[in-house]
Structure 1
Amino acid sequence: MSLDRVQGLPGHEAWGGRLEALAGHPGPLWIFGETGTGVSTLGAWLAGTSGRAFLDDADRLSEDDLLAWLDANPRGVLGAHLDPEAPARARAASRCLAFRLPTLEEAPDSVQRCFWTLAREEAVAPPLPPALAALPCPGNLRGLRNRLVRWRLLGQLPEDPAPRLPLDQDDLAANLHALERLLLHRALRRAYGNRLEAAKRMGVSRRHLYLLIARHGDPVRGEAPTHEGPKRLRRSQHSRNPLHP
Structure 2
Amino acid sequence: MIPLNLLPGFAHWGARLDELAARPEALWIHGPAGGGASTLAAGLAEQRRGTWKDAETAAEGTAWLAAHRGGIVAARVPPPPGAACLELRLPSVEEHPEAIPALLQALAAEEGLDGPLPPALAALPCPGNLRELRNRIVRWKLLRQAPEAAPPGPPRFEAEDLATNLHDLERFLLHRALRRAYGNRVEAAARLGVSRRQLYLLIRRHGDPVRGEPGAGDLPHRLRKRRPAQNSSPGPEAR
TM-score (ref. length: structure 2): 0.62
Partner of 1:78: 73
Question: How many aligned residue pairs are there?
Answer: 171
- Over the aligned positions, Cα root-mean-square deviation in angstroms equals 3.2
Change (3 A) 1:166 1:139: closer
Change (3 A) 1:154 1:20: same
Which secondary structure state, in structure 2, belongs to the residue aligned with residue 124 of structure 1?
A: coil
Question: 1:59 aligned to 53, 56, 59, which one?
Answer: 56
TM-score (ref. length: structure 1): 0.60
Which secondary structure state, in structure 2, belongs to the residue aligned with residue 132 of structure 1?
A: helix
Give 1:164 shift: 4.7
Question: 2:121 aligned to 125, 132, 139, which one?
Answer: 132
Partner of 1:202: 214
Partner of 1:41: 39
Partner of 2:104: 115
2: CA distance between counterparts of 1:165 and 1:90?
Answer: 38
Using the aligned pairs only, state the percent identity: 45
The superposition leaves residues 212-231 of structure 1 with CA deviations (integer Å, 9 ceiling, x where unpaired) of xxxxxxxxxxxxxxxxxxxx
Give 1:43 shift: 0.3
The superposition leaves residues 158-209 of structure 1 with CA deviations (integer Å, 9 ceiling, x where unpaired) of 0224535998xxxxxxxxxxxxxx99xx6xx649xxxxx945x137xxxxxx
Runs of 4+ more than 2 Å apart? 59-63, 69-72, 159-167
1: CA distance between counterparts of 2:151 and 2:84?
Answer: 41
Structure possessing the higher radius of gyration over alpha carbons? 1
Structure 1: stretches of 5+ with no match in the other structure: 168-181, 192-196, 204-245
Give 1:106 shift: 0.9
Are residues 1:158 and 2:147 paired?
yes
2: CA distance between counterparts of 1:165 and 1:80?
Answer: 31
Give 1:62 shift: 3.7
The superposition leaves residues 90-111 of structure 1 with CA deviations (integer Å, 9 ceiling, x where unpaired) of 45xx111110111111112211
Change (3 A) 1:20 1:162: farther
Is the contact between residue 8 and residue 92 of structure 2 (CA under 8 Å) also seen in structure 1?
yes
2: CA distance between counterparts of 1:127 and 1:19?
Answer: 32
2: CA distance between counterparts of 1:163 and 1:150?
Answer: 24
Partner of 1:242: none
Partner of 2:188: none
Q: Give the letter for the 2:85 counterpart.
A: C
Question: 2:48 aligned to 36, 50, 73, which one?
Answer: 50
The superposition leaves residues 118-176 of structure 1 with CA deviations (integer Å, 9 ceiling, x where unpaired) of 11112222222101112221201111111111111111110224535998xxxxxxxxx
